[in-house]
Amino acid sequence: MTDYYDGSFFGRRKGKPLSPSRSALLEGELARIGIDVAEPSPEEIRALFPQDVSAVWLEVGFGGGEHLLHRARENPTVGFIGVEPFVTSMAKVVHAVAEEGMTNIRLFDDDAIKLLDWLPAASIDLAYQLYPDPWPKKRHWKRRFINQQNLDRYARVLKPGAEFRFASDIDTYVDWTLRHCREHPAFEWKAECAADWRAPWNNWPGTRYEAKAFREGRVPRYLTFGRSSV
């Protein structure tokens, strides 16, 4: 049975039990690289990282972690914040970070709203939300993460001129996101031709959810919005 949480935008948090060694690694590494929103947020978000970083990128709901890890590896001078409440997915990324000794990733394992409200204003240079839970039944659409209130949250933490990138293979969610973002004064859709929303971004690694979409005959769409100075 799916484990739902009142007011959350995700479904279950746990899958198959982790092995004792993987559980210990998860607990230990999250104590080291996890973000604690009970603590005051730093005035400069780059202070979260032990090295100098030129920018901070955010990925909300990183799923299997393919995209987050790929971007962090190819951009070692950028700091990455990854959000994922699903324990198995978090454990996979924590294992990779520990095994490779990556120092430019910080993680948050709870509801993204808590992190967005904690982050300093105008602190994020780029944000991704890739293949979020589409909540396809109309009666569940209120659980979709993209809504006016959460776009306000994104708008607050994104720097003017920063980008918000969204991908989904569910047509109703693509239309939903496009409509909500175009109606929000802080976001401007940057597409100038069909290729701008049909093709993924440069150096795109793909994700397991995208591969599943292709197998099942669905076509992903890739939306890019600019954070205006409004």
Collect all residues with Cβ–Cβ distance below 8 Å to 198 and sequence separation of at least 6. Answer: 221, 222
125 is catalytic: no
Nearest to 84 by CA among 38, 134, 128, 140: 128
Place of tokens 């049909």: 198
Q: Pairing between strand 78-83 and 55-60?
A: parallel
State how far the Cα of 220 lies from the Cα of 214, in Å rounded to an integer.
Answer: 8
Catalytic residue among 133, 169, 171, 196: 133
Using an 8 Å Cβ cutoff, are 151 and 180 in contact? yes
Cα Rg for the chain, rounded, in angstroms?
A: 17
Six-digit token string for 210: 């995208």
Which run of H or E residues covers position 210? helix 208-215
Using an 8 Å Cβ cutoff, are 125 and 44 in contact? no
State how far the Cα of 131 lies from the Cα of 222, in Å rounded to an integer.
Answer: 10
Amino acid residing at 19: S
Task: Cite the active site residues.
Answer: 133
